[in-house]
Structure 1
């Protein structure tokens, strides 16, 4: 196992978990806990982050608290609160992030209590001729610049009725849990469309493989999905070169044969991959190695 990543949930079925078996529980109790002595430094830290990367911008996100199996419903439940990208930058990426983790464990019994932990989504995208899609992260992104990654991003509360891009302009009780599930799965596909330029009609409905924690960003969670693309790799390359809505977030495309994925963790490419991409590959290998 790689020290940068921990798999905290893996689907029991090698087929993954379909959308209809995913549920969401929303509560303000799942928001990050407030540490008063740290709050007074948040704006200073945010400005420092902006000075290093002026392309950063704030927006509301769903805060991951936990994912639990739900035997009664035959699926799993995401337990989510609300956060935003600014909170992520000033907690998970704070200069004293390690101290915040220790205080979370000491004060609240949870290392992540004081962390923003926005829920990420990432996709293992398999082309019609058996290649997996990777992109190299550009200098405009907030983390893991220059590393290979899988297509991904965040589900957005603003896309759900009752949600907003501004964390202070919404109440979690106004959000419909079923609509949040829709947004999680739709955002997974939208990120592939926007980053790779593959039209949605060429992508299958995602299935959840599991959840991984990124330890380079203080345990930030990412849910990882398996998606089939009915286009061959040559056409994927052509579409990528044309550029999508988020073409500036990557600087290159790599297509790796599905036959080489089991051995990817021991290949030279592994050291050039960001943790979210590593988590996705580890989940695929643990579930679908024999497919």
Structure 2
């Protein structure tokens, strides 16, 4: 069953909350998307706070003129659906709007990020003024039961030097989305493309970041959404099996990696990863928690 499961660990960068947990794991056929402008960010009523978004972005551009404000899917919540069949299968609908990297830098990554939050137990209300682009991450298990972890380089804007799972973002532009559509027929096709991109996007990220070919990866299984408490950054997590062993993965990475986003690949056991997890950003700590919930559920079957 899909659950809204709060969980946290100590430390400002390590703390996380599980927004959605699917311990049984859901295939593509049971994860849909509701893509609608109602899930876009709501501007903050404080005009000076809104103006700070442009100010921070322009400052970042001066420091790094190559920055690009690409379109991103914004996480606006989810809904779980249950049917009446004896096996009680359920499905999940992710609520997505649109945002962009500029607004992400000016809200979630802003020194003023906490000022954008609204006091509320409802996460979608609490974060309604945040960009909240939905990141993604994959717990990739090799044929010898190791988990792939990357060490981020010091060149990246988020969590330099930290350990992360392969991932990034599903990209609206990959499926031809630059803005919301008004035509009802177009909207139906659009939603189908967005749903596919949730699963295609994570495979693409794993291939690009590890060098492992897509043919060596199983279809992704969706296991939930976590967010780090620091700057409320959300990410969807998937479980993927890889049919090659850890030494082969390491060799593939050495030939594929460009040295920008990550500098090293580790293939570790779940026990070793528990020892490393204090060096995972909060949303990825949540990803590991979702993986452990999935493993524990499988043991009970």
Change (3 A) 1:109 1:140: closer
Change (3 A) 1:223 1:109: closer
Deviates more, 1:39-48 or 1:58-67: 39-48
- What root-mean-square deviation, in Å, do the aligned CA atoms of Structure 1 and Structure 2 show? 2.2
Residue 272 of structure 1 deviates from its aligned partner by 1.6
Change (3 A) 1:55 1:272: farther
How many residue pairs get aligned? The number is 274
Matched position secondary structure for 2:148: strand
Matched position secondary structure for 1:248: coil
1:49 aligned residue: 60
Q: How does 1:39-188 map to 2 (within 5 A)?
A: 39-51=50-62, 56-72=67-83, 74-102=90-118, 105=120, 110-161=125-176, 163-164=177-178, 170-173=179-182, 174-175=186-187, 176-188=190-202
1:288 aligned residue: 295
Which of 236, 253, 271 in structure 1 is aligned with 2:249?
236
Deviations 1:189-243 (A, max 9, x none): 0000001111111111100111101122x21210100000101111100010012
Q: Which runs of 5+ in 1 are unaligned?
A: 165-169
> C-alpha separation between the residues in 1 aligned to 2:42 and 2:143?
45
Q: Is the 8 A contact 2:143 2:245 kept in 1?
A: yes
Change (3 A) 1:87 1:12: same
Matched position secondary structure for 1:130: coil
Residue 35 of structure 1 deviates from its aligned partner by 1.8
Q: Which runs of 5+ in 2 are unaligned?
A: 1-7, 84-88
Moved over 4 A (4+): 51-55, 172-175
